[in-house]
Structure 1
Amino acid sequence: MNRTRSGVPATYVLIHGAAADSWCWHLLAAELRDRGHDVVTVDLPCADESAGLPEYADAVVEAVGARTNLVVVAHSLGGFTAPLVCDRAPVRLLVMLQAMVPLPGETPGQWWAATGYDQARSEQDRRDGRAEDDLVTLFVRDLPPELAAEALSRQKAQASTPFTQPWPLPAWPDVPTKFLLSSGDRFFPADFMRRVVRERLHITPDEVPGDHLPMLGHPTELADRLEEYWTQQQQPSESPSPQRHQAPL
């Protein structure tokens, strides 16, 4: 079996957010493959109005196939899909990257009001002095200009269907979970996300630099952190991880 500097190779399953596709992962995927890992990226059926959260999970599970040593990494809206994958596949580690954290029965459309997002964003916009149409500052302020322009130009149509569907799990999956917070994100402000993670996952997030797309701005640092998590996950432990969730949120 091939081994990397972090031991046994992982299979990283990268789940993008709304109005996006697998392109957003290409720099991080290259970093992980260069380190000897397998990488699965999926293009979710974002534009398909007949597709919702179950179909998003279907697409990921189908792409994974019979692979093992799964580390699922979910970004933004992908936070609603990733736990569904964990409920159906032998996932060893879930990493939420600046991702929405759902509660049982909550729809993605309800998440914004339930978490107090609008107030947090309004306060962030006032601090930034951001113009309403300034998408660069909102989403990709940390990226080089050409990469930022390409990222914005690649936005996809996003169907409304998944935003209307209740998250179906009765509790967080029984899978070790980490949260990586992007400290410079203006779309999901850092203080807001720290609170959401504390209240809903009962853990303290780790932090990486970057905007809403840290996988484009800081792929090497992000790969380093993912390898660190994977190395820790392979080490035997005599006591249960404090970041393994067994009770309803």
Structure 2
Amino acid sequence: MPPTFVLVHGAFANSFSFAPLQAELGLLGHRSAAVDLPGHGFTATYPRAYQAPQDAAGLAAAPGAIRGVTLDDNAAYLVGVLERAKRNGPVILVSHSRGGITATAAANARPDLIDRLVYVSSWCPVDLDAAAYYAEPEMAGVDPASLALAAVGNPAELGLLRVNFRTADPKALAALKAAFLADGTDDEFLAFLSTLQPDENTDAGTAAHRAQAATWGRIPRTYVRLTDDASLPPALQDRLIREGDALTPQNPYDVHTLPGSHLKWLISPGPAARLLGGLAAG
């Protein structure tokens, strides 16, 4: 029976990000399901102050539905999706960016539901909590201004992270494009930006959410490196691969490499779809 690809988005994203990839997978004959984690997609909050003309003060203070959502909530929701997908045969769990933390937590909890883990330039913390890697040498070149220039409100008061992706500030837009889609056109960048939601939860995980050898470590796994990723640099991707291999040397990553930035593989998904299709063929 052919596998189902279950696709897990990153921060501020949603299932909409995967539409072009799903189209390519479908045309290659593969079944896929893109997940909206709690507080994402059509359950996200888009304050009226976010609409044009924007109300900066209102946007900084408006409540958001994602407040209080935790990584455990994400993982529990994903496990529910995996349970449903598993009824139809093998499951290949594909995560991107911050979605890798949720995928790892789900794999720790229910390895029986996953036939292969695929991380596409995605977080899989092993030795450190995810947030702690930002202080490591591999992340030294990451520009913290990429989101900060468009950040809105006080996360401590809002109980969430909020970014104004509809900003017209040229410096903020330039920083976002350099971080996520430096190899894309301005039109591609703005089109993708319009699919993002303003709010994200604040839970990046703890030691309990790092990869565990006894559960996560027994699942076959693949890491897809993105060579031009300025958001999760290749040096950090390689470190995560090394740490995972050291945790379970008897079950190392199957490593593949694609050219492009953090988002280019989603905008031009043909090579990624073919790569994933090869994994499905086994």
Same fold, TM-score > 0.5, yes or no:
yes
Q: What's the offset of the Cα at 1:117?
A: 4.3
| Preserved CA contact (<8 Å) 2:2 2:89 | no
Any idea what the Cα deviations from partners look like across 1:128-177, whole Å, max 9, x if unmatched?
xxx775211210123343221121233221111x2254434533331100
Unaligned 5+ runs, structure 2: 40-64, 147-170, 247-252
- Among residues 95, 101, 126, which one is paired with 1:80 in the alignment? 101
- Name the CA shift for 1:108/1:67 in 2 (closer, same or farther; >3 Å): farther
- Name the CA shift for 1:197/1:184 in 2 (closer, same or farther; >3 Å): same
1:189 and 1:150 mapped to 2: Cα distance?
23
- Name the CA shift for 1:185/1:198 in 2 (closer, same or farther; >3 Å): same
Q: Secondary structure at the match of 2:242?
A: helix
- Among residues 123, 140, 147, which one is paired with 1:119 in the alignment? 140
- Among residues 141, 150, 170, which one is paired with 2:182 in the alignment? 141
| Preserved CA contact (<8 Å) 1:214 1:222 | no
- Among residues 78, 90, 96, which one is paired with 2:119 in the alignment? 96
- Name the CA shift for 1:166/1:155 in 2 (closer, same or farther; >3 Å): farther
Unaligned 5+ runs, structure 1: 1-7, 126-130, 233-249
Structure 2 counterpart of 1:108: 130
Any idea what the Cα deviations from partners look like across 1:56-84, whole Å, max 9, x if unmatched?
12222223313321000011111111123
Q: After TM superposition, list the pairs within 5 Å mapping 1:1-249 onto structure 2.
A: 8-46=1-39, 48-64=66-82, 65=84, 66-86=87-107, 87-88=109-110, 89-103=112-126, 106-113=128-135, 115-121=136-142, 133-156=174-197, 157-160=199-202, 162-168=203-209, 170-171=212-213, 172-202=216-246, 203=253, 205-232=255-282
1:16 and 1:174 mapped to 2: Cα distance?
23
Q: Which amino acid aligns with 1:183?
A: T
Any idea what the Cα deviations from partners look like across 1:154-208, whole Å, max 9, x if unmatched?
3221111x22544345333311001001111111222332233223335473110
- Name the CA shift for 1:201/1:167 in 2 (closer, same or farther; >3 Å): farther
- For these two proteins, the number of residue pairs brought into alignment is 215
Moved over 6 A (4+): none
Structure 2 counterpart of 1:4: none
RMSD: 2.5
2:2 and 2:185 mapped to 1: Cα distance?
31
TM-score with structure 2 length normalisation?
0.68
Any idea what the Cα deviations from partners look like across 1:97-141, whole Å, max 9, x if unmatched?
00012127x53323323x43441426xx9xxxxx77521121012
| Structure with max Cα Rg | 2
TM-score with structure 1 length normalisation?
0.76
- Name the CA shift for 1:90/1:159 in 2 (closer, same or farther; >3 Å): closer
- Name the CA shift for 1:195/1:170 in 2 (closer, same or farther; >3 Å): closer
Q: What's the offset of the Cα at 1:49?
A: 2.5
- Name the CA shift for 1:50/1:67 in 2 (closer, same or farther; >3 Å): farther
